[in-house]
Amino acid sequence: MAGVSGCLKYSMFIFNFLFWLCGILILAVAIWIRVSKDNQEILSSETNTYVAVNILIAVGAIIMILGFLGCCGAMKESRCMLLLFFIGLLLILLLQVAAGILGAVFKPQSDRIVNETLHENVELLHASDDAGKKFQQALMKFQKEFKCCGLVHGAADWGNNFQRYYESCECPASVDSSCVSYENKLVYKQSCISLIKDLIEKHIIVIIGIAFGLAVIEILGLVFSMVLYCQIGNK
């Protein structure tokens, strides 16, 4: 009977060892975020952040387990471990495909929710409570970096707080088409809503690219594990 290919065996081991290291890295970063004292104040006020970090911990742990199964299955020529690796990797791939389909189906709704949320957050620029001040500080940094002013309708979004925070959206001394005068201050004409949406779109594209790259790697892992599984059975 045919023997097990040494090249395939060690390629499978190297592939899964790198996969296992990725799992350790994801798990370590997620746990650090979860327990770091510097992040406790932020996490305690954001339930969604807790959920995201917990999901990241679970993903890191699953990748570690699968990497371990793949390494041991390849080196020990264990069909059981290779089969478990194949099933686990296939489930992850199917979940990614399902998430991609759901993301495409619900994209119009998610765009509408983002748009409505940004319009609702205009009220926070008028506020004087802690939540309003946090949002105002965040928008000030965004305005300064991306050269915009206000969230939806420009400088008017700041209301009575404009004179206090106008520095972050103040135009240079030279007047051009990107600047406009508001309450005797020269500020950027463009509001930040379109720039925020563009930034979200870019992040989504990056996530899709990463997911596609992982899918290619996972398919290679499925092929390697199944070929090795069959070769061990024929040995």
pLDDT of residue 4: 62
Average pLDDT, the chain: 80
Residue 171: DSSP 8-state = P
Q: What is the pTM of this model?
A: 0.67
pLDDT of residue 43: 44
Position with higher pLDDT, 86 vs 47: 86
- What's the whole-number mean pLDDT along residues 24-37? 73
Structure tokens at 37: 């004292």
| Range of lowest pLDDT (31-40, 149-158, 197-206, 209-218) | 31-40
Position with higher pLDDT, 93 vs 207: 93
SS (H, E, C) 32-82: HHHHCHHHHHHHHHCHHHHHHHHHHHHHHHHHHHHHHHHHHHHHHCCHHHH
149 backbone dihedrals φ, ψ, rounded to 5° = -145, 130
Residue 170: DSSP 8-state = B
- What's the whole-number mean pLDDT along residues 78-104? 84
pLDDT of residue 97: 82
Position 51 pLDDT exceeds 50: yes
Position 42 pLDDT exceeds 80: no
Q: Are the CB atoms for 30 and 56 separated by under 8 Å?
A: yes
| pLDDT > 70 fraction of the chain, expressed in percent and rounded | 86
Position 221 pLDDT exceeds 60: yes
Residue 176, by phi and psi: left (phi above 0), alpha (psi -120 to 50) or beta?
Answer: beta
- What's the whole-number mean pLDDT along residues 87-94? 87
Query: Residue 36: which pLDDT band, with cuts at 50, 70 and 90?
Result: low
pLDDT of residue 129: 87
Position 226 pLDDT exceeds 80: yes
Nearest to 152 by CA among 182, 123, 109: 123
Give the span between the Cα atoms of 51 and 28, in whole angstroms: 16
- What's the whole-number mean pLDDT along residues 66-75? 84
pLDDT of residue 46: 44
The helix, strand and coil proportions of the chain, stated in percent and rounded to the nearest 5, come to 80, 5, 15
pLDDT of residue 158: 93
pLDDT of residue 149: 92
Position 138 pLDDT exceeds 60: yes
> If you write DSSP's letter for every residue of 204-216 in order, what string do you get?
HHHHHHHHHHHHH
Position 203 pLDDT exceeds 80: no
Query: Residue 53: which pLDDT band, with cuts at 50, 70 and 90?
Result: low
